[in-house]
């Protein structure tokens, strides 16, 4: 039987190819016809239809726009992931909101959606504590990961209690999941390096830290440097110590460990008194970081420079800061 189509042997190379490309694109994207149906209608092979659709995308005849059902900024997400080598970036537009609590809640809700949607569900995750993580715990749906083991990765026994939810993050996330928590009931920062070493060698503390090191997924927030720091309000650091850290070039902390703008430990002597996972333990792991607000722009950039974040959840203003500065 003679083929009825002049295109079945090869596609044209002149203006009629553009006309054919437009026909195929309209049929596929606007009329919801299958590639097989289009091929039959136009006397093409399915391979030719697929090729024309691919050309339509690459030449701009067809532009696909991702419109998420939740509030997201896909363009900024793609740009952040490409620039910093992230597994994923989630950017939450917050409109005119500038207060820290509102920004933190919006970012926490987006991070909770990401966690709850993980497939397969995690069996073990390590978490830090603080305001951002407390907001995450509140945002997680009930029963999101039955049987989950949640392990605290740094000391959280506050010396001064301002908000008990800040230090009970592991228990709260485990309760929301329908799992159990392994706690680290020791201070975040101790008076002497020898005290930290002695505590870490205790079998109970060592067992929790081993579970933390084994967790394939770690979730944490970042701390700003300043007198509003949770490590200051919890009683670990005095105003004078914070001022000294800033003099050393500290821009904020991750797991209680203060970094300079280029991602180095700001004060090795203080770091030697800090109990919990060392930052080296984050390398090669899946790390979920929640961060929002202008006060944390510098520490976010530092953590990204150090390669300590693989999944970043942040607000649009922080994303803009990271993308607009060439030295970040």
238-259 residue pLDDT tens = 889 999 999 999 999 999 999 9
Q: For residue range 169-215, list pLDDT tens digits in order.
A: 999 999 999 999 999 989 899 999 999 999 999 999 999 999 999 99
Q: Are residues 16 and 151 in the same domain?
A: no
Q: Are residues 296 and 217 in the same domain?
A: yes
Q: Give the pLDDT band of residue 4 (cuts 50, 70, 90).
A: very low
- Alpha-carbon separation of residue 209 from 134, 206, 214 (angstroms): 21, 5, 9
Q: What is the CATH number of the domain that holds 47?
A: 1.10.10.60
Q: Are residues 22 and 131 in the same domain?
A: no
| Residues of the domain holding 136 | 74-324
Q: Are residues 190 and 55 in the same domain?
A: no
- Asked which of 11-20, 47-56, 184-193, 292-301 is least confident by mean pLDDT, the reply is 11-20
Structural tokens at position 58 = 């690459």
* Number of independent structural domains in the chain: 2
Q: Are residues 265 and 225 in the same domain?
A: yes
Q: Domain for residue 266, yes or no?
A: yes
- Which domain-ending residue is among 46, 64, 82? 64
Q: Are residues 250 and 111 in the same domain?
A: yes
Q: Are residues 20 and 152 in the same domain?
A: no
Q: Are residues 133 and 281 in the same domain?
A: yes
Q: Are residues 58 and 79 in the same domain?
A: no
Beta bridge mates, 12:
none
- Which domain-ending residue is among 64, 93, 115? 64
Pairing of strands 250-254, 311-315: unpaired
pTM of the model: 0.78
Query: How many percent of the chain have pLDDT more than 70?
Result: 89
Confidence at residue 69, expressed as pLDDT on a 0 to 100 scale = 46
Q: Are residues 157 and 280 in the same domain?
A: yes
Q: Is the pLDDT of residue 139 over 50?
A: yes
Largest CA distance in the chain: 91
Q: Are residues 43 and 96 in the same domain?
A: no
- What's the mean pLDDT when you consider all of the chain? 88
Q: Domain for residue 69, yes or no?
A: no
Confidence at residue 60, expressed as pLDDT on a 0 to 100 scale = 77
Q: Domain for residue 34, yes or no?
A: yes
Q: What is the CATH number of the domain that holds 213?
A: 3.40.50.1360
Q: Give the pLDDT band of residue 6 (cuts 50, 70, 90).
A: very low
Instruction: Please report how many Cα atoms fall inside a 13 Å half-sphere around the Cα of residue 39, on the Cβ side.
Output: 14
- Alpha-carbon separation of residue 233 from 225, 227, 228, 290, 305 (angstroms): 12, 8, 7, 20, 28
């Amino acid at each position: 039987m003679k083929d009825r189509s002049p295109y079945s042997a090869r596609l044209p190379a002149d203006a009629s190819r553009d006309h054919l490309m437009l026909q195929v694109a309209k049929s596929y994207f606007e009329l919801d016809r299958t590639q097989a149906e289009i091929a039959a209608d136009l006397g093409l092979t399915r391979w030719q239809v697929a090729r024309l659709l691919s050309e339509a995308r690459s030449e701009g005849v067809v532009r696909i726009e991702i419109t998420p059902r939740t509030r997201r900024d896909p363009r900024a997400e793609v740009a952040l992931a490409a620039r910093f080598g992230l597994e994923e970036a989630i950017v939450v537009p917050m409109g005119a909101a500038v207060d820290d609590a509102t920004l933190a809640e919006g970012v926490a809700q987006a991070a909770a959606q990401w966690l709850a949607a993980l497939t397969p569900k995690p069996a073990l995750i390590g978490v830090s504590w603080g305001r951002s993580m407390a907001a995450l715990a509140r945002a997680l749906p009930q029963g999101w990961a039955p049987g989950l083991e949640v392990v605290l990765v740094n000391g959280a026994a506050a010396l001064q209690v301002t908000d008990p939810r800040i230090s009970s993050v592991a228990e709260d996330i485990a309760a929301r999941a329908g799992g159990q928590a392994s706690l680290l009931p020791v201070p975040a920062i101790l008076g002497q390096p020898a005290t930290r070493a002695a505590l870490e060698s205790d079998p109970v503390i060592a067992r929790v830290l081993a579970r933390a090191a084994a967790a394939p997924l770690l979730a944490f927030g970042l701390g700003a440097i300043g007198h509003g720091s949770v490590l200051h309000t919890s009683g670990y650091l005095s105003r004078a110590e914070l001022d000294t850290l800033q003099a050393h070039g500290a821009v904020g902390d991750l797991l209680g460990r203060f970094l300079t703008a280029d991602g180095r430990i700001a004060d090795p002597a203080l770091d030697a008194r800090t109990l919990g996972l060392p930052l080296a333990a984050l390398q090669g792991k899946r790390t979920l970081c929640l961060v929002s607000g202008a006060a944390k722009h510098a520490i976010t950039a530092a953590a990204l420079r150090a390669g300590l974040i693989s999944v970043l959840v942040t607000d649009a203003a922080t994303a803009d800061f990271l993308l607009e500065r060439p030295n970040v």
